[in-house]
Amino acid sequence: MRKKVMSVLLAGTMAAMTLAGCGGGAGSGSGKAAEAETAADGSMELTIWVHETDSSDEGKHYGKLVEQFNETYAGKYHANLSQIARSGDAGGYDDKINAAISNGGLPDVYTVDGVTVAQYADAGAIIPIDSYFTEEELADFNPSIIQQGTYDGKLYTLGAMDSSVGIFYNKDMFEAAGITPATKEEPWTLEELTQAAQKLTTEDCFGITMSLDAKDETMIYFFLPLIQSQGSNILSDDGLLTDGYLNGQAAVNVLTWIKDMADQGYASATPAENSFELGQAAMALTGAWEPTNLAKFGDINWGLMPMPKYDDSSKAVSACGSWTFAISGQCAEEKREGAAELVRFMTSTEAAKGMFEANAMPPSRQSAFSQIEAFNQEPLDVFQYQLTNTAQARPVSVNYAVASNQFATAIQNVLTGMDVKEALDQAVEQYNFQTDTE
């Protein structure tokens, strides 16, 4: 499997994603493990790559954390940071990582998108980190952070930030329509959401906007929870098969609902940009990044509801996952304790709290949540509740990227007229062809 996954990595599959003792020893991964180097003051030199430059507040936060790490561990460890921009198609950073996997140039520690953990782990490009963290330390992380970082029973990554999806709504429109919003403990069903959207739809305002024109990871991030809510998924438990999952009844149910929402005119298949912010939609199914966007549009009276569940017999499930830190498979054996300390520092409570201050994303740790007032009151308490109680990670699979892409393609095919079951069966056929899976 490793040879196959390496070919997928180097072909650029992972670059298409918008939002992934200690393994096989010093020689694990595609390249040769680097020799440990010592600085002039006797400290062990460590290298770390991140996907944000110092032109962003998030990038500046990474820089400050590395400076603080070097001050804290002066004379013992010294980390050298490289900040590499992601290009428009995510190619810059990911291309450099993929090249380094094959030529032996990986750093000791680097950031990994949560949905790519399985690919990197299977390729030997990252190593398990379970043994470097205590159960007490790991218990402080959001359950979803542990879930997305675990592959084949071993923990490979930890992050400082998380993410979530909910329904942002216009309070004034709700009040005028006499609609009572859902609460974090009692989410709406799809039927209740549909009824509200119908009531809120007018000639110049859609009931809800759901980014239905997206052709990327957005689709699975927004709608997979509705499949998981029914107790299913798009991949089998071993992460290999899609037949009966990607084209299963739960997926059919969700895509049928999406199609009906567009056909009835309650949601637009080609939504205008910022339609919710401009009052052209009464609700928006979107992510934790939305408050930052809303702040650019003046005084909008908005609230936040949780992700809906499929029906009354279904469980509440919400989206999660973001960028994480991993130790390279090419990290020299004698450097791995230091690399683990660097991962620990970059994902500490203070690091997670600072990440929210830098990019407004939810923290990865419960101890950080308790220190951020915004998540302990309305409206953002919805995201804390979801990440603590209902979040379920996307499949941790070496073939995830292919399945995600085919899911998005199926939605676009349905919105342009294809039969739902036919579109999903075609998605399974394409997945099987691209992954050589029977």
SS3 state at 391: strand
Q: What is the pLDDT, as a whole number, of residue 38?
A: 74
User: How many CA atoms does the CB half-sphere of 87 hold within 13 Å?
Assistant: 8
Q: What is the pLDDT, as a whole number, of residue 345?
A: 98
Residues 334 and 384 grouped into a single domain: yes
Structure tokens that stand for 63 in this block: 């820089």
Residues 230 and 107 grouped into a single domain: no
Extract the residue ranges of the chain whose pLDDT is less than 70. Answer: 1-36, 88-91, 438
113 φ/ψ angles, rounded to the nearest 5 degrees: -65, 135
Q: Are 393 and 208 in contact (CB under 8 A)?
A: no
Pairing of strands 44-50, 109-113: parallel
Residues 36 and 66 grouped into a single domain: yes
Q: What is the pLDDT, as a whole number, of residue 407?
A: 98
| Spatial separation of the C-alpha atoms in residues 310 and 287, rounded to whole Å | 19
| Spatial separation of the C-alpha atoms in residues 429 and 424, rounded to whole Å | 9
**Which of 352, 367, 389 delimits the end of a domain?**
389
SS3 state at 305: strand
Residues 261 and 342 grouped into a single domain: no
Residues 174 and 304 grouped into a single domain: yes
Cα 124 to the center of its chain, rounded Å: 21
* 413 inside domain: yes
* 259 inside domain: yes
* 366 inside domain: yes
Residues 119 and 246 grouped into a single domain: no
Residues 342 and 418 grouped into a single domain: no
* 21 inside domain: yes
Q: What is the pLDDT, as a whole number, of residue 437?
A: 84
Total structural domains in the chain? 2
| Spatial separation of the C-alpha atoms in residues 134 and 147, rounded to whole Å | 16
Q: What is the pLDDT, as a whole number, of residue 29?
A: 39
Which residues are registered as beta bridge partners of 141? 365
**Helix (H), strand (E) at residue 240:** none
Residues 170 and 309 grouped into a single domain: yes
* 263 inside domain: yes
User: DSSP per residue over 126-190, as a string?
Assistant: B---GGGS-HHHHHTB-HHHHHHHEETTEE-EE-SB---EEEEEEHHHHHHHTPPPP-SSSPPBH
Domain span at 242:
165-318+399-435
Burial class (CB in 10 A: 0-12, 13-18, 19+), 70: buried
Residues 342 and 408 grouped into a single domain: no
State the CB neighbour count (10 A cutoff) for residue 122. 21
Alpha helices by DSSP H, 208-285: 217-228, 249-263
* 146 inside domain: yes
Q: Tell me how far apart the 2 most distant CA atoms of the chain are, in Å.
A: 71
Residues 282 and 419 grouped into a single domain: yes
CATH of the domain at 180: 3.40.190.10
* 350 inside domain: yes
SS3 state at 102: helix
User: DSSP per residue over 11-78, as a string?
Assistant: TTTGGG------SS-TT-SSSPPPPPEE-TTSPEEEEEEES--TTSHHHHHHHHHHHHHHHHTTTTEE
Residues 173 and 147 grouped into a single domain: no
* 394 inside domain: no
Residues 262 and 332 grouped into a single domain: no
- pLDDT tens per residue, range 27-72: 333 444 455 677 777 899 999 999 999 999 999 999 999 999 999 9
Which residues are registered as beta bridge partners of 287? 165
